[in-house]
Amino acid sequence: MCGIVGLFLKDKALEPKLGELLAGMLEVMTDRGPDSAGFAVYGAGEAGRIKLTIRGNGLETVATDLSDALARTVHASPHDTHLVLSMPADCETVARAWLAERRPDIAIIGAGKRIELYKEVGLPAEVGARFGLAKMTGTHGIGHTRMATESAVTTDGAHPFSTGADQCLVHNGSLSNHASLRRMLEPKGINFTTDNDSEVAAGYLSWKLREGATLAEALEDSLDDLDGFFTFVVGTESGFAVLRDPISCKPAVMAETDQYVAFGSEYRALVGLPGIENARVFEPEPARVYAWERN
């Protein structure tokens, strides 16, 4: 089943409340996905620095050890089972190599100038509370509540998936040609860390974006290349997009006001948003790309 939520703010005045609003939306979608949850938040970025969201064992010592190894300052912001590392952007390659060699049990689940990504097994409200979602700020965020159907209930299998800098995707549905897509994408340098079909969709979009497509163009192309059922909500550093498969197999409802664009698998997820009574509430059409970009 699964539930998806997304919130893209147009009004800066709401940015301090992004996490609080997203947390409320995510919790309502518990009925659609009670076994695990995850979310990505596009918060503040620092010029010249990159953030890596990591999870695994022994997170306490990572920042110090990595600072020593790089001889540069690495900041760490712990969030329960996850840690967000902030480091000079030119250190990313060396830092990744160091983590892979010295701390192979640690997974990098998100990387970019602004993205932070969290996911865990458990009820959505508990997952949100553990990571302190309600206090997070930012311009846009997407979330997912999972009801696992085709792979185990693990943190690895939880959404969102991120396969490129500041990119993430959440998916409701299932893809039937993910194995062949994976074989097509891996030689092109798109790396996957799970067997999940949704990660392949994320990787497909990362590949298209790398080749120069806009987010909207990448999603247009996916209509030809992806086979299966899907409602996607996708985030990039400055963009937010929604796409449903041509027979609109999975539910979706959107609301737009002067202050925000919001997505929910059901309208119930949107009722806590400010001004929802007067929002333009609509159902996104099948096979039509909806994309917003920050100016």
Q: Which residues are catalytic?
A: 2
Identity of the residue, 95 or 243, whose beta carbon is nearer to other proteins in the bound complex: 243
Binding segment toward other proteins, per CB under 8 A, in 43-51, 112-120, 128-136, 261-269: 261-269
Cα 88 to the chain's mean position, in Å? 23
Encode 187-216: b = buried (16+ Cβ within 10 Å), e = exposed.
Answer: eeebebeeebbbbbbbbbbbbbbeeeebbb
Contact mark string toward other proteins, 207..246, x via CB under 8 A: ----------------------------------------
Cis peptide before 160 (omega within 30 of 0): yes
Alpha carbon dihedral 274, 239, 217, 194, in 10-degree steps, equals -100
DSSP 8-state class, residue 132 = T
Binding segment toward other proteins, per CB under 8 A, in 64-72, 75-83, 152-160, 260-268: 260-268
Question: By the 8 A CB rule, do 212 and 160 touch?
Answer: no
Considering the rule CB under 8 A, would residue 247 count as an interface residue with other proteins?
yes
Considering the rule CB under 8 A, would residue 270 count as an interface residue with other proteins?
yes
Identity of the residue, 93 or 278, whose beta carbon is nearer to other proteins in the bound complex: 278
CA nearest to 84, candidates 48, 142, 42, 121: 42
Identity of the residue, 125 or 271, whose beta carbon is nearer to other proteins in the bound complex: 271
Q: Which of 10, 72, 210, 268 binds other proteins (CB under 8 A)?
A: 268
Question: By the 8 A CB rule, do 191 and 96 touch?
Answer: no
CB of 13 to other proteins, least distance (A): 24
Question: By the 8 A CB rule, do 206 and 160 touch?
Answer: no
Considering the rule CB under 8 A, would residue 30 count as an interface residue with other proteins?
no
CA nearest to 229, candidates 208, 241, 213, 243: 243
Identity of the residue, 122 or 286, whose beta carbon is nearer to other proteins in the bound complex: 286
How many CB atoms sit inside 10 A of residue 279's CB? Answer: 19
Considering the rule CB under 8 A, would residue 251 count as an interface residue with other proteins?
yes
Identity of the residue, 69 or 253, whose beta carbon is nearer to other proteins in the bound complex: 253
State the number of binding residues for other proteins (CB under 8 A). Answer: 15
CB of 272 to other proteins, least distance (A): 9
Q: By the criterion CB under 8 A, which residues form the site for other proteins?
A: 247-248, 251, 253, 266-268, 270-271, 277, 281-283, 285-286
